[in-house]
Amino acid sequence: MHSPQDPSQHPALLLFQKLLAPAPSGREAGVADPVRRRLDELGYAHETDPAGNVLVRLPGQDPQAPLTCYAAHMDEIGMVVTAIEADGCLRVDRSGGLFPWKLGEGPVTILGDREEVVGVLSMGSTHTARAGERSVTWEDVRILTGLSPDALKAAGVRPGSTAVPVRERRGPVLFGPAEDPLVAAWTFDDRMGVVALLRFLERLRDEERQPQSPTLVAFTVHEEGGGQGAKILADRERPTVFIAVDGCPIPPGAPLLLDGRPGIWSKDRLGHYDQGLVRDLMAAAERAGTALQPVVYSGAASDASLLWYAGGAHRVACFGHVRENSHGYEVARLAVFDHVVDTLVAYACPG
């Protein structure tokens, strides 16, 4: 495990900061481009399929073993423009599982077809009767642009354009005890899964290790909108085992702690994960010197369960960093990011 003197120089955070370009669903190039550059630096051949998934193929020690796919999605939650008003203000709705109370007011980047435009998210004045009793919905939200509809059109801003918080609002921020800090950012979901898979590949290269099974490492698109990238990938590649590397949120009552141990999904709203695979990953974590915290969700789904529900793989699992404030300014224990990579290596290369 890497333990730098300065936590801000932790390799997971340095790599995470290279992936903070806007990447809402359907517009993942801001993450895909640095992923490909990092794969080039590591010396891995890679390909990009027609859907936009970035793929690395690794031979297995046992060429006859079933194909295993490890996947992390590149897209993020955001807003989608629904209308442009006469004064240049934008009406918006959510893209993925974003709610306006998670954002507050502040600057956002709108991704036009030709240019990026900066605007400010607005939820109206509090100088109204009983303002403090209101619950904010997307109908109350607009983006102030200061531009005319013609200027927005020239930038390629239109219904269907997407918007996300500006880079300066994203973090990361370290806090808590210096020897075992917490780290926060707008959102880790799922750039930290992408970081984990890139670090996993780096470990395999540096330690000259080969996975037991033929392996596909996939950086997928459009998970937040329904797992389309993973479904397309699985339909073509037909993996037997599909493991999503994604965060584990902490809804009320969930038995998860921010103590450095990753979490593992046992069931979500689409069904049970493969319990044999859950046990194998938990055993791999123990071999790696950590442990996985199992959890059941009633209101969540992952790339793994979405494609399993569609019949895309025989056995599925999902595990990763435990995070507070899911789909918002998320918080995790810095040590958890190393433990996710350690578990991946121990599972993929049991020898």
CATH number for the domain that contains residue 228: 3.40.630.10
pLDDT, tens only, 29-82? 999 999 999 999 999 999 999 999 999 999 999 999 999 999 999 999 999 999
Give the pLDDT band of residue 343 (cuts 50, 70, 90): very high
Same domain, yes or no: 153 and 213? no
pLDDT, tens only, 200-239? 999 999 999 999 999 999 999 999 989 999 999 999 999 9
What stretch of H or E contains 107? strand 106-111
Same domain, yes or no: 321 and 333? yes
Same domain, yes or no: 272 and 295? yes
pLDDT, tens only, 146-181? 999 999 999 999 999 999 999 999 999 999 999 999
Same domain, yes or no: 61 and 92? no
Q: What is the pLDDT of residue 134?
A: 72
Domain presence at residue 322: yes
Domain presence at residue 176: no
Domain presence at residue 174: no
Residues pairing with 244 in the sheet: 71, 318
Same domain, yes or no: 153 and 221? no
Q: What is the pLDDT of residue 331?
A: 98
Averaged pLDDT, 318-328: 96
Q: How many whole angstroms separate alpha carbon 181 and alpha carbon 192?
A: 16
Does residue 124 contact residue 95 with C-beta atoms inside 8 Å? no
Number of folded domains that form the chain: 2
Which structural domain range is residue 336 located in? Answer: 7-76+187-348
CATH number for the domain that contains residue 96: 2.40.30.40
Residue type, 173: V
Domain presence at residue 177: no
Q: 173-175 and 182-186: which strand pairing?
A: antiparallel
Domain presence at residue 233: yes
The residue whose two tokens read 């897209």 is 75
Q: What is the pLDDT of residue 3?
A: 47
Which residues have C-beta within 8 Å of that of residue 87, sequence separation ≥ 6? none
Q: What angle do CA 298, 302, 305 make, to 5 degrees?
A: 80
pLDDT, tens only, 77-130? 999 999 999 999 999 999 999 999 999 899 999 999 999 999 999 987 777 777
Q: What is the pLDDT of residue 1?
A: 44
Domain presence at residue 171: no
Same domain, yes or no: 35 and 84? no
Same domain, yes or no: 339 and 196? yes
Question: Residues of the chain with pLDDT > 70: what percent?
Answer: 98
Same domain, yes or no: 206 and 310? yes
4 pLDDT above the threshold of 80: no
Domain presence at residue 180: no
Same domain, yes or no: 25 and 111? no
Domain presence at residue 107: yes
What stretch of H or E contains 94? strand 90-95
Same domain, yes or no: 116 and 210? no
List the alpha helices (DSSP H) in 138-190.
149-155
252 pLDDT above the threshold of 50: yes
Q: 315-320 and 241-245: which strand pairing?
A: parallel
Question: Residues of the chain with pLDDT > 90: what percent?
Answer: 91
Same domain, yes or no: 59 and 202? yes
Same domain, yes or no: 207 and 58? yes
Which residues have C-beta within 8 Å of that of residue 127, sequence separation ≥ 6? none
Q: What is the mean pLDDT of the chain?
A: 95
